[in-house]
């Protein structure tokens, strides 16, 4: 391990204040920001994902923002490989790099490593997507129970992405998805310093509600209209877009759709915190404790 190289991981729930603080810290350290947001990767989802603005992107070099088309397939395993390759280059010139975002699996992929699960080929992906569209999720869950009963017992059976991916591996390899899930912690050739940002629930919820209102003002509805032909893609199976699809379908009134975005974002923020709280390596701060946070960064210890 190179003790001179530090990956600063700035994490926390959506709307807590990661973007601005990461910019301030990156400017202090004269370094780059690596995004760990699985939806900000898509260039057509700027408003609904609260992606950094053009002016913010000018302040600090960013990576993994707006690099994918909606139709591109991308996984946490690919993200792990791409980020590690990028860090090899960045650490040639910098001692510190900042990784920030709220996508829990992406963060874990970089910090802990992800299982070496085979990349799914296009034919298998199309086959399972077709089965999902024609036969439904319940049928796929029943099939998963037959092919991999162990994973069937623990997976979220209401999450089509997880169920489909497990079946893709079963179909493609002839083995259970479980057999590839070794959960082996991988060593990294750099220090990892994890800083978590947190606010009390009332404060965070107020910020979430304000952010959603701002997204509507900035043109979220027009952004969703522009991607409407791609609504079946997994890249658009996300809060903010699903609710506006219902509004555009005439199923919901706009005010109800907006309230649902706020509600579902609050639910997602709780899921994020539940995930992050399992990690004892994270030190938690209120975002306004800049001096304390900076000292942890500067000293390079958690």
Over residues 53-89, the pLDDT tens digits come to 999 999 999 999 999 999 998 888 899 999 999 999 9
Confidence band, pLDDT 50/70/90 cuts, at residue 126: very high
To the nearest whole number, what is the mean pLDDT of the chain? 93
* Domain range for 155: 122-180
Provide the pLDDT confidence category of residue 294 given band limits of 50, 70 and 90.
Answer: confident
User: From CA 15, how far away is CA 86, in angstroms rounded?
Assistant: 27
User: Angle 18-29/290-299 helices, nearest 10 degrees?
Assistant: 50
Same domain, 159 and 232: no
pLDDT of residue 1: 55
Strand duo 33-35 + 96-101: pairing: parallel
Q: How confident is the model at residue 206 (pLDDT cuts 50, 70, 90)?
A: very high
- Torsional class of 219: left (φ above 0), alpha (ψ -120 to 50), beta (otherwise): left
Exposure string of 93-130, with b = 16+ CB inside 10 Å and e = fewer, is: eeebbbbbbbbbebbbbbbbbbeebeebeeebbeebbe
H/E element, 99: strand 96-101
pLDDT, residue 118, reads 83
**CA–CA separation, 137 and 62 (whole Å):** 37
Residues 257 and 271 in one domain: yes
In angstroms, what CA-CA distances link 29 with 24, 95, 97, 98, 151? Answer: 9, 9, 8, 9, 44
- The domain boundary, picked from 180, 195, 230, lies at 180
* Per-residue model confidence (pLDDT) at position 2: 63
Say if residue 198 is in the same domain as residue 254.
Answer: yes
Answer yes or no: do 259 and 279 share one domain: yes
* Residues 176 and 217 reside in one and the same domain: no
Q: Which CATH number goes with the domain that contains 98? A: 3.40.50.300
Of 22-36, 93-107, 181-195, the poorest mean pLDDT is in 181-195
pLDDT band at 302 (very low <50, low <70, confident <90, very high): very low
The 10s digit of each residue's pLDDT in 212-234 is: 999 999 999 999 999 999 998 88
DSSP per-residue letters across 262-292: HHHHHHHHHHHHHHHTT-TT-EEE-TT-HHH
Domain count, the chain: 2
CB 99 within 8 A of CB 8: yes
Q: Which residues pair with 35 in a beta bridge?
A: 100
**Does residue 62 come out as left (phi exceeding 0), alpha (psi in the -120 to 50 range) or beta?**
beta
Q: With 90 as the cut, is the pLDDT of residue 253 above it?
A: yes
pLDDT tens digits, one per residue of 137-185: 999 999 999 999 999 998 889 889 889 999 999 999 999 998 887 667 8
Q: What is the pTM of this model?
A: 0.81
Q: Is the pLDDT of residue 301 over 70?
A: no
Q: Are residues 170 and 99 in the same domain?
A: no
- How many CB atoms sit inside 10 A of residue 136's CB? 11
| pLDDT score for 185 | 80
300, pLDDT greater than 60? no
Burial of 44 (0-12, 13-18, 19+ CB in 10 A): middle
pLDDT tens, residue by residue, 42-53: 999 999 999 999
Domain boundary among 131, 149, 180: 180
Q: Same domain for 74 and 175?
A: no
Residue 114: what pLDDT?
80
Does an H or E element contain 194, and which?
strand 190-197
pLDDT for res 156: 84
């Amino acid at each position: 391990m190179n003790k001179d190289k530090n990956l600063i991981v700035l994490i926390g729930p959506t709307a807590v204040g990661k973007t601005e603080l990461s910019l301030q810290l990156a400017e202090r350290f004269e370094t780059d920001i690596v995004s760990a947001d699985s939806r900000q990767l898509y260039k057509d989802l700027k408003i609904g994902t609260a992606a950094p603005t053009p002016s913010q992107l000018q302040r600090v070099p960013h990576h993994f923002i707006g690099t994918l088309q909606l139709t591109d397939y991308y996984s946490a395993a690919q993200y792990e490989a791409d980020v590690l390759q990028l860090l090899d280059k960045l650490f040639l010139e910098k001692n510190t790099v900042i990784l920030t975002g709220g996508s829990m699996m992406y963060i874990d992929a970089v910090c802990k490593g992800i299982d070496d699960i085979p990349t799914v080929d296009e034919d298998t992906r199309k086959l399972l997507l077709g089965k999902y569209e024609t036969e439904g999720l319940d049928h796929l869950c029943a099939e998963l129970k037959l092919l991999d009963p162990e994973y069937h017992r623990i997976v979220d059976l209401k999450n089509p992405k997880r169920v489909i991916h497990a079946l893709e591996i079963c179909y493609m390899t002839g083995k259970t998805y479980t057999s590839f899930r070794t959960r082996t912690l991988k060593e990294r050739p750099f220090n990892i310093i994890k800083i978590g940002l947190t606010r009390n629930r009332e404060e965070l919820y107020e910020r979430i509600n304000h952010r959603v209102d701002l997204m509507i003002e900035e043109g979220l509805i027009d952004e969703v209209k522009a991607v409407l032909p791609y609504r079946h893609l997994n890249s658009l199976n996300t809060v903010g877009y699903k609710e506006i699809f219902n509004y555009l379908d005439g199923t919901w009134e706009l005010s109800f759709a907006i309230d649902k975005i706020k509600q579902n974002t609050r639910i997602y923020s709780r899921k994020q915190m539940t995930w992050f709280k399992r990690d004892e390596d994270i030190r938690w701060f209120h975002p306004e404790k800049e001096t304390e946070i900076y000292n942890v960064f500067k000293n390079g210890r958690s």
